[in-house]
Amino acid sequence: MRTLHHPRLEEVDLTDVLHALSDPVRLEIVRSLSDLKERPCSAVEAKVAKSTLSHHFKVLREAGITYTRTNGTHRLMSLRKDDLEECFPGLLTSVLNGHRAA
């Protein structure tokens, strides 16, 4: 199984994070992860094709928003809340609160 790329903290860029969060499907994925420590990728529900969902997972991971680890044949995804808070204090909370209010 190939290794997934996760940007180091100093590589996380605000433009990439905002781009990743601008898509409604990705924003919903982030919202669903915000209340959990970790979730299997297969448990994420979205009204898009599986290949499209995989693309959204990749965009979130490569922007530095999520972390994906492999456990056997499963991929488990979590938010990089602490990393995002260190880089951009309050951003994730603000985006999620704004999303919930909409």
Q: What is the CATH number of the domain that holds 71?
A: 1.10.10.10
In this structure, is residue 84 part of a structural domain? Answer: yes
In this structure, is residue 73 part of a structural domain? Answer: yes
In this structure, is residue 91 part of a structural domain? Answer: yes
What HEC string does the chain produce? CCCCCCCCHHHCCHHHHHHHHCCHHHHHHHHHHHCCCCEEHHHCCCCCCHHHHHHHHHHHHHHCCEEEEEECCEEEEEECHHHHHHHCCCHHHHHHHHHHHC
pLDDT, tens only, 47-91: 899 999 999 999 999 999 999 999 888 999 999 999 999 999 999
In this structure, is residue 33 part of a structural domain? Answer: yes
In the chain, the number of structural domains is 1
In this structure, is residue 3 part of a structural domain? Answer: no
* Verdict on whether the full-model pTM lies above 0.75: yes
